[in-house]
Every structure is written in structure tokens, then in C-alpha cells.
Chain A
Amino acid sequence: NAGVTQTPKFQVLKTGQSMTLQCAQDMNHEYMSWYRQDPGMGLRLIHYSVGAGITDQGEVPNGYNVSRSTTEDFPLRLLSAAPSQTSVYFCASSTRTRSGNTIYFGEGSWLTVV
């Protein structure tokens, strides 16, 4: 997947712990987003950003926090991890051009909350 880097790849947390999933893109895309993927649910939008300093909530924002201080980075913070946040998290970035809109995804971060 071109240009979207996520870390860590795998993480195990205890209930109540906090952590940050990192996402960086090198394509100078203005739009970045975070999705979670759960079995039988498909990909669901958590938060998104249309540019540095601008963020908004998606479909399932509760328990997560984001900020966008630079164009390149869009970290996702879990404030107090819960077992329901066990999931695979994908970061995505995109830009709009005259030919349309292509959205690129990172390789994913597997999170287990015990």
C-alpha cells in the first residue's frame, strides 16, 4: 500500500490502559481517516480529518481521540481501553484530483484489549 505507514502492527493492552496508534503518509494528502474492521461488520469510520487542525467524528468515535497537527500525521488515541475496542485498525489517506478520488489504506494495526 503506497505511502501510508501504521505503527505498531500488533499491540496487547490491559483494560483501562491508554495508547496511541500512529499513522503517517508521505503523499501530501489533505484527507486522512481511521477505520476499524470487525468480523461481520465491515470497515467503520472512527474519525477523519480534511486538513491540518481540522478533525471530525465518524460512525463510531466513542473512546477514541484524534488530532492533526501536520499534514503527514494523524494519530489515534485510545483514552481508556476496553475489550470492545479489540479490533483491526486501518488508517487511510486521500486527495481529490481532476480525475477523481483514490483512497489508500495502511497495512493495519491489530489491537487486543484484555
Chain B
Amino acid sequence: EDQVTQSPEALRLQEGESSSLNCSYTVSGLRGLFWYRQDPGKGPEFLFTLYSAGEEKEKERLKATLTKKESFLHITAPKPEDSATYLCAVNSNSGYALNFGKGTSLLVTP
């Protein structure tokens, strides 16, 4: 059975204080690892898809990396507007479904 574990559950950063969020996974054949951002009262907003170990993708202050067992979402010099819940999900050989982790709630204070 596919499993996705995100850590930490919550993270509080000062503006400009870089950090990383972790997503550990076990799947039977990875077809894609997804990162989403979710603001309160909104649907998940797509950030990245990673497909193979060693792959990296960047978008503004965010950089996602992938190994065979985990993915990291690095946040460089965060701003208060980066505050949100970040969700990790995997798509495996079992089908089209996404298996989500429980998310990391990020708060960036001025």
C-alpha cells in the first residue's frame, strides 16, 4: 500500500529564514510526486510534479527535489505570503489516484 508522510506537521518561520519541508513515501512504482499549496478555504493549487530521483524544479522561492525515498520542498527567504499548507501526493502504478500526505502548515511571520 502506498504511504506518504509529511514532516513537520507545522512550521513557523521568520521572514527570510529559509527551511525545508519533507515528504517521505513508499509506493509500488512511482509515476509522479506532486506538491500543492492550499490556502484556507481554497482548493489545492498545483506547484510541481517530479518523476525520477535526482529531478529538481523551481518556482520563485520554492525548489522541489526528489530521491528514491523522499522529496523536499525548499523555501528560500520566505515571505508572509508563502504562509499556507503544503501538500505532497504520489501517483503510483496502482492507477490514476493521488495518495496525499496530511500536509505541513507553514506560517511565515514578518
Which range contains the number of A residues in contact with the other chain? Answer: 20 to 34
Contact A103-B43, Cβ < 8 Å, known A43-B98, A48-B96: no
Give every chain B residue within 8 A of A92 (Cβ-Cβ).
Answer: 98
Pick from A40, A45, A59 the residue with the most CB of B within 10 Å.
Answer: A45
Q: Would A108 and B32 count as touching, CB distance under 8 A?
A: no
CA gap between A106 and B97 in the complex, in Å: 16
**Closest Cβ neighbor of A107 among chain B residues:** B43
**Closest Cβ neighbor of B101 among chain A residues:** A42
* A102 part of interface (Cβ distance < 8 Å): yes
- Of B14-22, B44-52, B65-73, B75-83, the stretch lying at the interface with chain A is B44-52
Q: Would A43 and B100 count as touching, CB distance under 8 A?
A: yes
Give every chain B residue within 8 A of A59 (Cβ-Cβ).
Answer: 97
Main secondary structure of the interface of A (DSSP, over half): strand
Within 8 A of A (CB), among B87-110: 87, 89, 91, 95-98, 100-103
Q: Would B102 and A42 count as touching, CB distance under 8 A?
A: yes
Q: Would B96 and A1 count as touching, CB distance under 8 A?
A: no
**Closest Cβ neighbor of A109 among chain B residues:** B43
Give every chain A residue within 8 A of B25 (Cβ-Cβ).
Answer: none
Chain B positions within 8 Å of A, measured between CB atoms, are 31-32, 34, 36, 41-46, 49, 51, 87, 89, 91, 95-98, 100-103
